[in-house]
């Protein structure tokens, strides 16, 4: 029993770490989200520290990865073997702005032990161009260098120039490094701003009065893929968008434009799903999906239509994973056109689950926030009767993935005790989450979960080393 309780606690935390971001959701405020998440991190870190650290190797979101790293570095005395390697490997794949904010929080909290300084030093040493960071993330880099007591001279190429740029900007009249020199020239020379990173050049363009369209055209070669997607999604090319981001873009379009561009948008979503499915395309047999497009899938003001975008992405991904011609989708609204879905109406999950099971699928995947309300509780009762009376042998595997964190329950909302539920942030994570969801059925003990996490940690560290 203690093993099962421990496994449930760890899986509960993994669900939260995948879905929760500390921002407002449809049914909870940002403050409620943050308080709930903070308690959960503290509880799991204190009671299951090795498993807490191992979560860094899973597909958790960047917000929770940074919180795990921060909490581990704050408590060095309880550190276990290999923890430092895990932290370093996760920092290497986190976005640089998030790492610099993390270092800023450590500095504010006075966390400056030897391990923290070594990890900061190694992460900065692994950055491809510190001069680029000095221009783009100047306050963050400056705080990191001060906090870790790092001498920039000899630490990196152009280290002396970076040090002068950060701490004595008036000392040099010119810089040998082209990025630092471009920053100096951009104060008085309009052409120099197109040699800078996009976010820095944007401020200089406003100062020089450059028209927005002209600026975006000329700075395009210096923009990252995400910057192009954010500023000009239509021109960035639908073929480079990740599946969930593409689904968000499609849902942001008016219905008329979606209908006019049906072939283009449907083809792009299908291609993105096939890229995610990879070698597993067509290997899942007969698949049925129940997809939530009720009003609550509209998300919140800061995460508009996020749950609906996850459902739309999962629809195309499940179609790619299923045997050709053996996939059926059941939207809670009763709609049949995935391209024209919108957040609308109640959540009759029970009725849609009955419709999905009538076809005898090998897999049933439910994508919903779990608020079954038409009538309340019908989905759980349908699943209970199906599992205990109609399909006790488990010929149909049922998995519920939930894109919304329930702050009051410290977990994602579940439909029925016998149905495994996993939190999901991006549709791309669906195949991996279906794999880990089997631990939520109560049949696998803590030893099996530990073995799974150990394997994921080993693969994660090997990939980081490569």
Rounded-to-integer distance, Cα 238 and Cα 263, Å: 12
H or E element in which residue 91 lies: helix 83-93
3-class DSSP assignment, residue 253? coil
pLDDT at 233 over 70: no
Q: How far apart are CA 443 and CA 245, in angstroms?
A: 35
Mean pLDDT in residue range 330-355: 95
Would the pLDDT of 442 be above 60? no
**The predicted structure's pLDDT at residue 235:** 60
User: What is the band of 350 on the pLDDT scale with cuts at 50, 70, 90?
Assistant: very high
Q: Would you list the domain boundaries of the chain?
A: 239-444
**pLDDT classification of 256: cutoffs 50, 70, 90:** very high
- Exposed, middle or buried, 246 (CB in 10 Å: 0-12/13-18/19+)? buried
Q: State what percent of residues in the chain have pLDDT above 70.
A: 96
Residue 16 CA to residue 37 CA, distance in Å, equals 7
For 74-133, how does the pLDDT look when each residue is reduced to its tens digit (9 = 90+)? 999 888 888 999 999 999 999 999 999 999 999 999 999 999 999 999 999 899 899 999
pLDDT at position 25 over 90: yes
Cis, bond preceding 94 (omega within 30 deg of 0):
no
Alpha carbon 63 to chain centroid distance?
A: 8
| Residue 178 binned pLDDT confidence (cut-offs 50, 70, 90) | very high
pTM of the predicted structure, to 2 decimals: 0.89
CB distance 244 to 310 below 8 Å: yes
421-423 and 327-331 beta bridge pairing = unpaired
pLDDT of 436 above 80? no
Is residue 466 over pLDDT 80? no
Residue in 291, 329, 295 with CA at minimum distance from that of residue 311: 291
Which residues, in sequence order, are CB contacts of 304 under 8 Å at separation 6+? 298
- How many angstroms separate the CA atoms of 269 and 244, rounded? 9
Torsion over CA: 70, 71, 72, 77 (sign): positive
User: pLDDT tens digit string along 276-308?
Assistant: 999 999 999 999 999 999 999 999 988 999 999
CA dihedral 61, 64, 70, 72 (to 10 degrees): -100
Inter-residue contact 159 to 125 (CB < 8 Å)? no
% of residues, the chain, pLDDT over 90:
74
Say if residue 5 is exposed, middle or buried (CB neighbours under 10 Å; 0-12, 13-18, 19+): exposed
Closest to 228 in 3D by CA, of 244, 250, 245: 245
**End-to-end Cα distance, the chain:** 40
Confidence at residue 378, expressed as pLDDT on a 0 to 100 scale: 94
Residue 152's pLDDT is 83
CB-neighbour burial class of residue 264 (10 A; exposed 0-12, middle 13-18, buried 19+): exposed
Q: How confident is the model at residue 440 (pLDDT cuts 50, 70, 90)?
A: low
Q: Which CATH architecture has domain 239-444?
A: 3-Layer(aba) Sandwich (3.40)
Please, where are the H alpha helices in 278-333? 306-321
Is residue 379 classed as helix, strand or coil in its secondary structure?
helix
Mean pLDDT of the chain: 91
What span, in angstroms and rounded, lies between the C-alpha atoms of 371 and 273?
A: 27
């Amino acid at each position: 029993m203690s093993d099962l309780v421990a496994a449930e606690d760890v899986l509960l935390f993994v669900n939260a770490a995948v879905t929760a971001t500390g921002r407002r959701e449809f049914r909870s405020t940002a403050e409620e989200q943050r308080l709930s998440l903070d308690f959960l991190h503290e509880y799991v870190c204190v009671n299951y520290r090795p498993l807490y650290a191992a979560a860094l190797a899973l597909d958790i979101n960047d917000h929770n990865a940074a919180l795990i790293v921060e909490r581990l570095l704050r408590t060095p005395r309880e550190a276990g073997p290999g923890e430092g390697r895990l932290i370093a490997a996760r920092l290497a794949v986190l976005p640089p702005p998030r790492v610099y904010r993390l270092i800023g929080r450590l500095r504010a909290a006075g966390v400056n032990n030897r391990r923290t300084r070594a990890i900061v030093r190694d992460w900065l040493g692994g950055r491809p161009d510190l001069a680029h960071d000095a221009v783009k993330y100047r306050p963050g880099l400056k705080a990191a260098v001060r906090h870790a007591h790092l001498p920039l001279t000899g630490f990196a190429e152009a280290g002396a120039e970076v040090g002068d740029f950060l701490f004595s900007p008036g000392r040099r009249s010119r810089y040998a490094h082209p990025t630092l020199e471009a920053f100096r020239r951009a104060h008085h020379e309009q052409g120099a701003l197109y040699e800078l990173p996009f976010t820095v050049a944007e401020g200089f363009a406003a100062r020089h009065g450059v028209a927005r369209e002209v600026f975006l055209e000329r700075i395009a070669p210096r923009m990252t893929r995400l910057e192009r997607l954010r500023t000009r999604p239509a021109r960035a090319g639908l073929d480079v968008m990740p599946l969930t981001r593409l689904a968000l873009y499609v849902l942001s379009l008016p219905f008329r434009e979606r209908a006019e561009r049906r072939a283009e948008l449907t083809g792009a979503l299908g291609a993105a799903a096939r890229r995610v499915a990879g070698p597993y395309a067509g290997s899942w047999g007969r698949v049925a999906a129940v997809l939530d497009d009720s009003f609550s899938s509209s998300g919140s003001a800061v995460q508009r239509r996020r749950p609906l975008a996850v459902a739309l992405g999962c629809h195309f991904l499940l179609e790619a994973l299923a045997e050709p011609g053996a996939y059926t989708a059941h939207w809670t609204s009763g709609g049949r056109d995935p391209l024209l879905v919108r957040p609308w109406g109640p959540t009759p999950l029970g009725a849609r689950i009955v419709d999905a099971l009538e076809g005898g699928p090998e897999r049933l995947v439910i994508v919903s926030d779990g608020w079954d309300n038409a009538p309340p509780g019908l989905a759980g009762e349908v699943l209970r009767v199906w599992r205990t009376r109609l399909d006790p042998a488990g010929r149909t595997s049922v998995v519920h993935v939930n894109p919304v964190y329930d702050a009051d329950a410290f977990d994602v909302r579940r439909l029925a005790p016998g149905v495994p539920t996993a939190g999901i942030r991006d549709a791309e994570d669906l195949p991996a989450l279906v794999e880990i969801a089997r631990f939520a059925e109560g049949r696998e003990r803590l030893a099996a979960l530990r073995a799974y996490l150990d394997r994921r940690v080993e693969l994660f560290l090997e990939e980081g080393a490569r």
